[in-house]
A and B are shown apart, each in its own frame.
Chain A
Amino acid sequence: MAALNGPTPAVRAGTLLEAWVLPAFGIVTFLMLWAGCTAAGLAPARLLPGPGAAAAEFIDLTHTPYSGAVLQVHLLASLMKFSLGYGLAVLTGVPLGLMMGRYRIVEWAIAPLYESIRFIPPIAWVPFSILWLGTGFLAPTLVIFSGAFSPCVLNAYRGVHTADRAVLEAAQTLGAGRWATMTEVLLPAALPDIVAGLRVAAGFAWQSLIGAELIVGSTGLGYLIIQGESNLSSTVVVAGMITIGLTGAAIDFAMLRAERFVRRNWGQ
Chain B
Amino acid sequence: MSEIRFEGVERRFHRPGGNFLALENICFEVAEREFVALVGPSGCGKTTLLRMAAGLDFPTGGRVLVGNREVRGPGPDRAVVFQQFALFPWKTIRQNIGFGLKCKGTPLTQRREIIEHYVTLMGLQGHGDAYPHQLSGGMQQRVAIARSYALEPDVLLMDEPFGALDAQTRVLMQEELVRLARDNPRTVLFITHSVDEAVYLADRVIVMTPRPGRISAIIDIGLVRRTERWIDCEHIEEVMAQKSFVHLRSRIWRLLRGLESSGETVGRAMETGVG
Check if A174 is an interface residue, CB within 8 A of chain B.
Answer: yes
Check if A188 is an interface residue, CB within 8 A of chain B.
Answer: yes
Please determine whether A267 and B131 come into contact, CB atoms closer than 8 angstroms.
yes
The tally of residues in A whose CB lies under 8 Å from a CB in B reads 22
A268 to B90, CA, bound (A): 10
**Those of B70-107 within 8 Å (CB) of chain A:** 73-76, 78-80, 82, 84, 86-91, 99-100, 102-104
Say yes or no: A175-B90 contact (C-beta < 8 A), given A166-B84, A267-B132, A267-B133.
no
A117 to B99, CA, bound (A): 39
Name A166's closest neighbour in chain B (CB-CB): B86
Give, as a whole number of angstroms, the nearest-CB distance from A191 to chain B.
7
Write out, one digit per residue, whether chain B residues 53-66 have a CB within 8 A of any chain A CB (1) or not (0): 01110000000000
Please determine whether A169 and B56 come into contact, CB atoms closer than 8 angstroms.
yes
Name A179's closest neighbour in chain B (CB-CB): B103
Check if A177 is an interface residue, CB within 8 A of chain B.
Answer: yes
Chain A residues within an 8 Å CB radius of B100: 174-175
**Those of B164-196 within 8 Å (CB) of chain A:** none
A184 to B86, CA, bound (A): 14
Chain A residues within an 8 Å CB radius of B79: 173-174
A73 to B97, CA, bound (A): 51
Please determine whether A166 and B99 come into contact, CB atoms closer than 8 angstroms.
no
Please determine whether A172 and B89 come into contact, CB atoms closer than 8 angstroms.
no
Check if A170 is an interface residue, CB within 8 A of chain B.
Answer: yes
Please determine whether A268 and B74 come into contact, CB atoms closer than 8 angstroms.
no
Give, as a whole number of angstroms, the nearest-CB distance from A159 to chain B.
13
Check if A180 is an interface residue, CB within 8 A of chain B.
Answer: yes
Say yes or no: A170-B82 contact (C-beta < 8 A), given A175-B103, A175-B104.
yes
Give, as a whole number of angstroms, the nearest-CB distance from A43 to chain B.
55
The tally of residues in B whose CB lies under 8 Å from a CB in A reads 30
Check if A266 is an interface residue, CB within 8 A of chain B.
Answer: yes
List the 6 closest pairs (A to B, CB-CB), nearest first: A175-B76, A267-B133, A174-B100, A170-B86, A166-B86, A172-B74
Check if B151 is an interface residue, CB within 8 A of chain A.
Answer: yes
Check if A164 is an interface residue, CB within 8 A of chain B.
Answer: yes
Please determine whether B103 and A173 come into contact, CB atoms closer than 8 angstroms.
no
Please determine whether B80 and A170 come into contact, CB atoms closer than 8 angstroms.
yes
Chain A residues within an 8 Å CB radius of B99: 171, 174, 176, 184
Chain B residues within an 8 Å CB radius of A191: 90
Q: Which residue of A169, A176, A177, A180 contacts B86 across the interface (Cβ within 8 Å)?
A: A169
Chain B residues within an 8 Å CB radius of A173: 54-56, 74-76, 78-80
Give, as a whole number of angstroms, the nearest-CB distance from B133 to chain A.
3
Q: Write 20 A-B pairs (CB below 8 A) sorted by A numbering.
A: A166-B84, A167-B87, A167-B88, A169-B56, A170-B80, A170-B87, A171-B99, A172-B56, A173-B54, A173-B56, A173-B74, A173-B79, A174-B76, A174-B148, A175-B76, A175-B100, A175-B104, A176-B99, A184-B99, A267-B89
Chain B residues within an 8 Å CB radius of A171: 88, 99
Check if B257 is an interface residue, CB within 8 A of chain A.
Answer: no
Check if B142 is an interface residue, CB within 8 A of chain A.
Answer: no
Please determine whether B88 and A169 come into contact, CB atoms closer than 8 angstroms.
no
Give, as a whole number of angstroms, the nearest-CB distance from A103 to chain B.
16
Give, as a whole number of angstroms, the nearest-CB distance from A183 to chain B.
11
Name A267's closest neighbour in chain B (CB-CB): B133
A185 to B86, CA, bound (A): 12
